[in-house]
Chains A and B, each alone.
Chain A
């Protein structure tokens, strides 16, 4: 009994000592190389032991950037599975995500330019996001806590040239998306986004199975009982509705759900939502301002051109577009998919 009391009072003191709003720099290193995540030429992203690559089945659109992801857990510690399909992470877990472009999307392996590497670090004050911006020589990435703007260009898969200003989010903006009930959280770390095969060096395997084999998770139910979010780009991975909902979930629901900043609108776009009004069907806007254009409802079944959702997805005006951050370009394929879903909706 005494022992338990002792322990809980330590926890209590720890909680008290954490105030809002300290300087976050104490939790991050100034340069990416100092973490030693990669061996050899850092830009090649060959992970050291204990740095495991992964991907997610539905991606947040980030101006067509390609992304490499890695997870690092502290020694011998594990993720614990939660009933809502997410994980509890041990302290000092790090999630690594590098954003990059090929010069030409018709040859995606060549002429790679790394833009930034974002680290999500599970600090004693919770998760924090740190953006590292790659230098032109591609030899180092430097922490830019206030973000950065860079000229970027690529040739798209149809051979068209796209030029735009790539924006690295600042430390605060990371949390703007990665937030739940005022606390920062990882977005892509849900079982349903990880429950598919990944091409490892030693062959393909379901990622959750791999993580289990590596003793990285405890409490994971049988794989066959777990959900899978479809890859919205892959027509064989789900119906139009399933893929459109997957697109909307990963691109909108980090804000548009209960407990996140978009909740003020009453528009809830997470994949679990079933209430038609909350999903936006015939729902008038609340505080959209000119974001609504001259349209009256978020989704008008059968009428994508009357739906505010499409209007905001198609805009690049910062006062109109959705999501508010993280893109300068329109995700044409995503717009088409959601348009088709609304068109077919009765």
Chain B
């Protein structure tokens, strides 16, 4: 672009910002007119926004506030659109140092973006955990090259940080609390989830593969160096959502995924399940997707530190009741549903964890006795799972 034209347009921008009392229209206009390489600034203050702000078909943009607690986009009076901020069909977008508050649906959704960075971004619903909060906070879906760091997610009625149907993902140094799921990686490949702190969610970190989606499965998921503690919040997800099936008191849960590595985490005082490894059968939902694999396989849990104060698991869910009857106040840390993929030799490997009790629910053989835990035949024997040297070479 011609230099003088660029200067003129920047001056124009400046003037229009200065004299505009409508920051919503102003930001939206800037998002539409942005040229590659531009930085768009979110001013300090709490800005009331009524409609979804959207960034579409752009390349090499930085959207930057002054600080996550200084530049706040509030959607508490939102009347149009389902998201707070929507980013679609873009390349290399950096979101930095601002907060999106109280959107009616998802807070920040990025779809079809190659290169999306959330850095020091906060999404929050300010009224505490409520069913009427939006589903997802930080929400990249069908993206590649996703980096979420130094970010915070609070109060989502599904997942605070949710990465779905995406590839090449890093989630690190981020914090999630008062969500149903703190961090969730769903139907995604090559995800490094490390050095995060998830606490006081219903479930801390979830790795799920679900049927009937466009990206059919995930894999090469590494969950390490995280602190996952006190995730004992009542499940406030609206009924019908799969995350509504997560037991209050879940630390880390792997559902129907394969090639998942969970290591060197501190998993503490999650009252129902420290780490759960379960197949899709446990949801008791039917599926018709012939390409879907409902089993877990190639799951590795090692070098984690478990710590659980004695106490009852949740009694709101059948599995919680079952565990309470069977184990009283000493629910095992690692719980496996025992549904081994018949086509895979190595299902679940557990090695060298500190303070880890284990139980295999063996639901295939205990299903008849599901409601009679005294008759059921659980196995606390971990020796079958002493396998699979950690594949650290696959780390990036």
Residues of A within 8 A of B (CB): 19-25, 145-147, 149, 165, 167, 170-173, 175-176, 179, 182, 258, 261, 263-264, 266, 276-278, 282-297, 308, 317-319, 321, 324-325
- Asked whether A308 and B240 contact (CB < 8 A) given A21-B61, A175-B56, A278-B212, the answer is yes
Q: How far is the CA of A276 from the CA of B212 in the complex (A)?
A: 12
Q: Which of B32, B79, B165, B238 contacts A264 (CB 8 A)?
A: B165
Note all chain A residues with C-beta closer than 8 A to B213: 264, 266, 286
Known contacts A293-B240, A325-B80, then 9 further A-B pairs from the complex at CB < 8 Å, ordered by chain A residue = A20-B59, A21-B34, A22-B36, A23-B33, A170-B28, A182-B89, A289-B241, A292-B238, A318-B81
Interface residues of B in 131-154 (CB under 8 A from A): 131-136, 141-142
Residues of B within 8 A of A145 (CB): 29, 32-33
Q: What B residues does A266 contact at CB under 8 A?
A: 212-214
Is B300 in contact with chain A by the CB < 8 A criterion? no
Cβ–Cβ < 8 Å partners of B32 in chain A: 24, 145-146, 170-172
For B83, the closest partner residue in chain A by CB is A324
Shortest CB distance B243–A (Å): 9
Whether the pair B106, A289 counts as a contact (CB closer than 8 A) is yes
Give the shortest distance, in Å, between B51 (CB) and chain A (any CB): 7
Across the interface, which residues of A come within 8 angstroms of B29, CB to CB?
Answer: 145-146
A293 CA to B34 CA in the complex, in Å? 38
CA distance A19 to B37 in the complex (A): 12
Return B126 CB to nearest CB of chain A, in Å: 15
Inter-chain contacts of A288 with B (CB < 8 A): 135, 238, 240-241
Provide 22 A-B residue pairs closer than 8 Å at the C-beta atoms, listed in order of the A residue. Answer: A20-B90, A21-B57, A21-B58, A21-B59, A21-B90, A22-B35, A145-B32, A146-B29, A147-B51, A175-B88, A276-B288, A277-B289, A285-B240, A286-B212, A287-B141, A288-B238, A288-B240, A289-B134, A290-B238, A319-B132, A324-B82, A324-B105
B56 near A294 (CB under 8 angstroms)? no
| Distance between Cα atoms of A258 and B78 in the complex (Å) | 29
The 5 closest A-B pairs by CB, nearest first: A289-B135, A319-B104, A21-B58, A20-B59, A172-B56
CB distance from A317 to the nearest CB of B (A): 7
Given A20-B90, A264-B111, A284-B54 contact (CB < 8 Å): no
Q: Which of A167, A264, A317 contacts B214, CB < 8 Å?
A: A264
Taken together as a complex, chains A and B put the C-alpha atoms of A321 and B50 apart, in Å, by 16
List of B residues within 8 angstroms of A261 by Cβ: 88, 111-112
Give Cα distance in the complex from A145 to B27, angstroms: 12
Any A CB within 8 A of the CB of B127: no
Pair A284/B242 contact, Cβ less than 8 Å: yes
Q: Mark B205-222, 1 if CB is under 8 A from A, else 0.
A: 000001011100000000
Kindly state the separation between the CA atoms of A310 and B61 in the bound complex, as whole angstroms: 39
- Determine how close the nearest CB of chain B comes to the CB of A123; give it in whole angstroms: 12
Interface contact B80-A167, CB-CB below 8 Å: yes
Report the Cα distance A179→B106, complex, angstroms. Answer: 21
Which residues does chain B contribute within 8 Å of A173, judged by CB atoms?
Answer: 52, 54, 81
Which residue of B89, B157, B210, B240 has the most chain A CB atoms within 10 A of its CB atom? B240
Q: Which residue of A176, A293, A295, A317 contacts B56 across the interface (Cβ within 8 Å)?
A: A176
Residues of A contacting B112 with CB < 8 Å?
Answer: 182, 261
Instruction: State A274–B57 Cα separation when bound (angstroms).
Output: 32
* B164, CB-defined interface residue at 8 Å: yes
How many Å lie between the Cα of A289 and that of B82 in the bound state? 11
Tell me if A172 and B238 are in contact (CB < 8 A): no
Cross-chain contact of B105 among A23, A170, A179, A289 (Cβ < 8 A): A289
